[in-house]
Amino acid sequence: MNKKLLIGTGVAFSLLFSPFSQAFAEEPTTGERKQVDNVAHRGAAGYAPENTIAGFDLAVDMKADYIEIDVQRSKDGELVVIHDTTVDRTTDGKGKVGDLTLEQLRSLDAGSWKGEEFAGEPIPTFEEIMDRYHGKVGILIELKAPELYPGIEEQVAEALSERNLDKPQNEKIILQSFNFDSMKKMDELLPQVPVGVLTSNRALTTKAALKEISTYAEWFNPSYGIVTEDVVNEVHSQGMQIGSWTVRSQEAADFLFDMKVDAIITDYPDYVDPRNE
């Protein structure tokens, strides 16, 4: 496990003896913040409609390290990017994602609720997002309610493999879910791709729980309300990284910087980017 460890070790040693290391040491604040991955939650969701091309493009423009996307499946078996299991909140339609065909989903307006300037933004497909952004920005892929979509793990794995995104050199692809069994399956299907688990359950921050999670996951991604120094240290001691969500204030971002997490998942990428200091 810990697929990123071997890759990262070589980079760390090369930096340690590099002339650049001294330069970084002279700017501790900026250097520290650059080590935290800036993950644009559902795109730059504070400024643009979530899980749309407009939101993801803005996140890239804001120099996010990753975009975070939510993947579900249409009635006719196509992978689509939307957070809720219904379309009611973020589109002009109604109904469950899994009860609507791709054509029906694509006909919906997923932008107007955020502002008239986003009218007509469609629900993207998973393959559309992968083709548009891989190689340009990291992609944190959340399998949303995978228990509703039997076989979705295999489908996601196939889509990634077709694009050669199942290889370790493409480490800026990460999979995550609240469904731990789904992530165990993804670890088996794509053993070289990092996986993470999402939780807001404080009971899962114990040494025993984290040790078990570390047998298949490289990331432990809790809500920031349960993050403490002890939790961060224990996650790191188990060889995992920690990314916390969802930051919607500068105070929350600063708290997570102080906790020394590895990634901050935020609706507002400018709260995390050191270039905005």
pLDDT digits over 1-44, tens only? Answer: 556 444 444 444 333 433 333 333 333 444 445 489 999 999 99
4, 33, 83, 144: the active-site residue? 83
If you average pLDDT over every residue of the chain, what do you get?
90
Mean pLDDT of 166-188: 91
236 included as an active-site residue: no
- Residue spans of the domains in the chain: they are 3-276
Annotated catalytic residue: which of 33, 38, 39, 41? Answer: 41
Smallest Cα–Cα separation from 267: which of 83, 1, 25, 19?
A: 83
What single DSSP character describes residue 124? P
Q: What is the CATH number of domain 3-276?
A: 3.20.20.190
The predicted model scores a pTM of 0.88
Question: Is the distance from CB of 97 to CB of 105 less than 8 angstroms?
Answer: yes
Would residue 151 be called left, alpha or beta, if left means φ above 0 and alpha means ψ between -120 and 50 degrees?
left
Establish whether 83 is a catalytic residue: yes
| Token pair of 181 as six digits | 């069994």
